[in-house]
Structure 1
Amino acid sequence: VPLLQLQTYYEQADVDSQAKAIPLINLLAKCDSKFMQSAKEFADKAIPSVLTIAQGTAVNDVLAATAKAKIKSASAAQAATRQQLKIELDPETPAIPANLCMAAEAITASTEVPAPENPDQIQPEYKKLAPDDTTASPPSGEHPAAATSIVCFGNSNCQTTNSQTHYEIRGKELNTKKSITLTTAARKPTEPKSETWLVISDAQGSQTSHALTDVYAAVAKYEPETTPCWSFNKKTDQDFRDDVQRTLLGTEPTEEGEGDKANEINSMIDNTYGTDIKTFNEKFWNSITGTNVAKSRRDTTSKTEIKSATTAIAAVDMLGTTRAVSWGARKKAAAVAKDTLKSQDKQKSECETKNKDQCKTENGCELKGEHCVEKDVVKVGGTGVTNITVNNSFIIKKAPLWLAFLIL
């Protein structure tokens, strides 16, 4: 959203303000591109493993829906001797079942599989299905089996919280080679009630636990940008500094480095954008987001502040409207400039046809030597008109090529 807001401001700003905006537009676009690439790499590694988990477990209905949902956040940590993988799903996206089924119901497809031999020997190694709102401790009497149970892998605990958007997978050795078929077995603990246990062994447990390890590794490796992408946090970013040197100092970076320009670049960044979030807002950002732009392409007199676009969709719409209005204004200005030049050319040709007696100042002509010429007028930039297009083209030319694409 800040990138789109800044591009909107650029579309209607004067040349000096555009020059100040360009380095930050480039910086925000660079950070956005880096984030998108990191997210794609994470998804490419994590999604196949999530699908394997969904297909390789008996709670397929729940996990298949989970695999289709969007991952809102993911984290991997090592607490004591346990690896912890936590994935939070976006509750807005599809179809986490409203009421998760009991483990016994979820794995009815596997009921024909006989209970494991010597269950008393297995019981200490495998854990009971249970909801768990703690961060590291295994389930206990405070967390009995419940309808929110999902599945337990190997030698530790895996379940969902009651919010049904958090799934935690824990275990010292997630990729253990021990595995059999998923099955259930009734246990009769000291209390007079029946509890359901889920046991993993050789059939599908191995591929599932390996997939969990792959997801854990992908999450642990994923390191999205956590530092806000503002000028005062990215002062050492070389691309940003090069843009400041080009657009604000008017000199080109060299292969030898900044040299004696380093202090000048630092001062320009501080003076233009501030040194912290407070001065950044005061010197730069508040004036950007407080700028009024047209609400629609038809009614260009009705204004709204740039900061009113708080979502990506609204910001894209505002940018499109501002570009259309600015393009119309530039087109109209170009037509006026063209008519002015035509008028000047006509005046020039008329003066050249006059003789000495006809060459009079009231006709816009003057006599220079033996020739009648157009009378000198005060010109701006040596052209007679302010050439906005040329100035903008100069700024864009100095910016990286992909920025020129963004603002066209």
Structure 2
Amino acid sequence: MKKIVILGAGTAGTMMANKLRKALDREEWEITIVDQFKTHYYQPGFLFIPFGIYQKEDVIKPKADFIPAGVNMIYSAIDRIEGEANKVHLEGGQVLNYDFLIVATGTKTNPDETAGLKDKLWYKEIFDFYTIDGAVALQKFLKGWEGGKLVMAITELPYKCPVAPLEFVFLADAYFTELGMRDKVEIAYVTPMPGAFTKPVATKMLSELLAEKNIEVIPDFYIERVDNDQKKLISYDEKEIDFDVLTVVPVNMGDEMIERSGLGDDLNFVPTDKHTLQSVAHENIFVLGDASNIPTSKAGSVAHFAADILFENLMSAIEGRPLHAKFDGHANCYIETGFGKGALIDFNYDTEPLPGTFPLPGIGPFGLLKNTKINHYGKVMFRWIYWHILLKGKELPVEPLMTMAGKKKVN
């Protein structure tokens, strides 16, 4: 019997397990998925926890609920991949052989990479919201906070869900306004990027929205360390930013197992062909989701669109055919902007976010680079879609490759 091993039972790995089990003969193909943890997190929901919109129980379910019958589920840490021998070594000594391997081990935050970040103020006046513990701790803190300077800071690129820090400051503006204390809170958005986003048209729209909400943008700030005693962010060129409470996106890195396997770059992301999603090092290893180094957003939508391409190419590889399916870097992100409104961006490797309508030209119902209530509803509805459709590998009425239909070019 031939074997496919999937490393990681997050969004990307779970989708592939479902797609492959439906497609492959059970008598010919054994599918095994490995993950250290038994809980599946709806990570886009972490953003809403600090503001009391979601609670912890709204974003967690057992991983086993989404793994299809006929797929072997192994709960174990992974020691390393031995690519030349087609083996995965698990912690404890178990060895899995494979014909094809899918690496979907994601990315995680590494606050220890920034000096002073995980120090005496950690989860007291310095928080992340990219982990369930950080989001819950921040919710408890904000309930009793009486105001001051709130800084949202990004340490380094790339990081998971690039629009989430923007959403955080928009939601913070709404949260403190609704509490009647917005005049007591100064909000600053600190980024190593030259502006609010990486692309000019989207940056213009988002910058105008930030200015309208009296949120200061501090660009080109590369954090070198955090001074806990003085409550300051200090950059590599010795610029300083004061804070009363700091919310931060720590350095994101791939799984340490990738480094032990000799398959990663400096941040433990796997060098991956950005079109075929094949590992650069091994033809029978494919990489999906945040674990890869492809130059697009580390976002759930990318994993979803790329999964369709990877599935086609893996089926081609199994049958000995050329890998004709090409991923274009398609990403699609709802941006929660507060007060029951949201924006939407849709882009790929070559095309930046543009205004228009999505998914139907001229009809929508969602507006690209527009701040509307229907876009907010799209964000809210996605949680149901995620649990009931996306994870189970079912088809959504959105094409994996980006289309220019409905988009308006900007000069």
Provide the TM-score with structure 2 as the length reference.
0.26
Looking at CA atoms only, which structure, 1 or 2, has the larger radius of gyration?
A: 1
The structure in which a higher percent of residues are helix is 1
Query: What TM-score results when the alignment is normalised by the length of structure 1?
Result: 0.27
